[in-house]
Amino acid sequence: MLSDNIKRAAGEAAARTFMKNDNFSEENDPVSSALGEWKVTASLPPRFNEEVWRRIESAEQRTTVWDAISSWLGGIFAKPAMAVAYMSVLTLLGLALGFTQAEKKTTELQAQLSSRYVQSIDPYQRTHR
Amino acid sequence: MKRSAIILLLGLVAAVTAYCALYYGKTREQRQLLEAPAPELAWLKKEFQLGDAEFERVAKLHEGYMPRCEELCRQVAHKNSELKQLVSAANVDASAVEEKLKEAGDLRVQCQKNMFNHFLEVSRQMPPEQGRRYLQWVQQQTLTDEHEMEQRHGSAQSQAAEQKAESHHH
């Protein structure tokens, strides 16, 4: 009911402004009077203020960490030399890891193949014995 | 921020690409060997640097050796089952068991002789240096078990002798 009054009053006020009615005064403004009449009767949940502040703080903290990381990265990669260095280091790391893993796997496969040969010729080492 | 994210991502892509390229490139040969129709022979060819003609002769020897070896294995298994029957009988005939043991032993010797002849024949098909290396390697691989058994047996015997000597002293 109250919101209907406000809407109607706001519509009338807008119409009056549009029509450039200079006789309009604040004392007679139905929006102001309607807002003045408006009373909040619902009670707030317990620890409402505390909860609001906690949410604001956590939102600020999140923003701060993310902002810090992104600005730090932006600062680092702003220099082309740093971007190239980063790419080179990661590429070298990939190569080194690939090399060591491949060495390990090659040794494993070699052993597997040689033992397959031995098992094929030596009856004492056959699995079906 | 967008630029930083792109650079970060490109770095990771470069690392993964480098890893995969080296890993799959370096293990390609071994993986191909495993996928060959006879991986053990394909490995032998690569390991002992055999030419196509040498490899063909070695493969033929291998094919000829397998049925002989399998037949001897079958005979040894048969002798072993006969031996088990003799031993599990109500009245164990010691002389029959001894006879069967001797027969099984003879078959094993024959099996080993057959195996060593095969090694020699294969090594002769290889270039001299590779042949020597093959003989050395294959004997090391096939004699290890018996050698270990001998050592274990030897150490068990020496332990028993030591215990006996100690008990005599007491």
pLDDT confidence of residue B148: 54
Question: Which member of A83, A98, A105 has the closest CB to residue B19?
Answer: A98
Q: How far is A45 from B130, CA to CA, in rounded Å?
A: 89
pTM (two decimals): 0.61
Give tens-digit pLDDT for B95-147: 888 888 899 889 888 888 899 999 999 999 999 999 999 999 998 888 755 54
Contact B61, B125 (CB under 8 A): yes
Under a CB-based contact definition with an 8 Å cutoff, are residues A34 and A5 in contact? yes
Across the interface, whether the CB atoms of B26 and A95 are under 8 A apart is answered: no
Neighboring chain A residues of B145 at a CB cutoff of 8 Å: 124-125
Judged by average pLDDT, the poorest of A88-102, B5-19, B53-67, B77-91 is B77-91
Q: How far apart are CA A82 and CA A76, in angstroms?
A: 6
CB B7 within 8 A of CB A87: yes
Mean pLDDT of chain B: 85
pLDDT digits (tens, 9 = 90+) for A13-33: 665 655 554 555 556 688 888
Q: Could you say which of A101, A118, A126 has the minimum Cβ distance to residue B141?
A: A118
The verdict on a CB contact (< 8 Å) between A121 and B44 is no
**CA distance to partner chain A, nearest, from residue B100 (Å):** 20
Q: How far is A64 from chain B (nearest CA, A)?
A: 15
Using an 8 Å Cβ cutoff, are B142 and A122 in contact? yes
Sequence-distant (6+) residues with CB within 8 A of B55 are: B41, B44, B45
Note the pLDDT tens digit of each residue in B66-88: 888 888 888 888 988 988 888 88
CB-based contact B118 A121, cutoff 8 Å: yes
Residues in chain A: 129
Cβ-based neighbour number of residue B15 at 10 Å: 20
Cα–Cα distance, B42 to B55 (Å, whole number): 9
- For chain B, report the end-to-end CA distance as a whole number of angstroms: 88
User: What is the DSSP track for B45-67?
Assistant: HHHTT--HHHHHHHHHHHHHHHH
- Residue A63 pLDDT > 80, yes or no? no
Position A128 pLDDT exceeds 50: no
Q: A120, A125, A128, A129: which to substitute to probe chain B, counting the most B Cβ within 10 Å?
A: A120
Question: Which site among A122, A125, A126, A129 would you substitute to test the B interface, given the most B Cβ atoms closer than 10 Å to its Cβ?
Answer: A122
